[in-house]
Amino acid sequence: MPYLLRAAAPTDAPAVTELLNDIDRIEVGRPETDLHTVESDLGHPGTDLERDSWLAFDGARLVAYALVWDDSKGERINADHYVLPDHQQAGVLLLEAIETRALEKARANGASTAVLHLHLNSAPTTDLTLIRARGWSVVRRYHVLERALRGSEDLPPEPPADVRVRACADEADRKQTHALYQATFAEHFDFQPREYEQWLYDIHADRLDWSLVWLVSTEDLGDVGFLIARDDREAMGWIRSLGVVREARGRGLGGLLLRQAFAAFAARGRDTVGLGVDTENTTGAPELYARNGMSVHYAVDTWEIVLS
């Protein structure tokens, strides 16, 4: 029986979430996808669900899902792709669809080629022989790290006398966090610059508890770093982003922000905190996280294909 393919709609978010959690159970041992995350993905600005999303059904069962979006307005296009292990042909159909659509989007941006990126668990439900046969290859690896929290031990740190840590309190602080984000992540792999309003959407600001966003400043340099954490994931507390400007690195400010987040989550009764890190990060982030008790939960690979 052939697969039924159709575009996704916002009302499909619960079914997609269920599919992704089925895949999570296989890949990482527990469900870690939240409904609001899928709803946000399906509502991504500039995404035309009729042309940029696909669902594959085996009878009434959803077995594969894919989405394409464009943040670069150039050749770099992003995609999601998920398939259950016993339905690889559906996965191939969706790979064909996202490749075709990615090239269309890149050409509409004036680019002659599309550089398409896709993130997959390092041991995914997708058959990697099929994706390699289409010309995809791994260009980066990320680790999702986690750390157990202990309310009696993870207490708010005491900053040095010349350092101040403050919660993001108003619009001016939010704009400062955005500016620091752009400055500290500009050197990172696959960084895409974001204007303020677009960045607010990227971090799901409508759901963000801004008391879990901190800025750190020093007497000599002013505001030099930030940490964005969020408490809307069911599986664990999550540190979305941490950055310190180059001039202020090596002064323990990243660790200070980390411990601030650990204490805040522990005070809320969370027992685990997690984050993602590029294994080739050159700012010392992997070592910082290891020093602060974080260990690998699972690995994610960035796959790339260049289309023309």
Q: What is the pLDDT of residues 124-140, one digit of tens each?
A: 999 999 999 999 999 99
Give the pLDDT mean for 29-34.
Answer: 97
Inform me whether the pLDDT recorded for 1 exceeds 70: no
Q: How far is CA 45 from CA 57, 158, 178, 182, 204, in A?
A: 26, 41, 19, 20, 12
pLDDT tens digits for range 259-277? 999 999 999 999 999 999 9
Strands 114-121 and 76-83 come out as parallel
Q: Which residues contact 228 (CB under 8 A, 6 or more apart)?
A: 177, 181, 203, 208, 212, 213, 239, 240, 241, 242
pLDDT tens digits for range 81-123? 999 999 999 999 999 999 999 999 999 999 999 999 999 999 9
pLDDT tens digits for range 196-212? 999 999 999 999 999 99
Beta bridge partner(s), residue 65: 55, 82
**Has this prediction a pTM greater than 0.85?**
yes
* Separation of CA 23 from chain center: 17
- Give residue for tokens 């620091």: 180
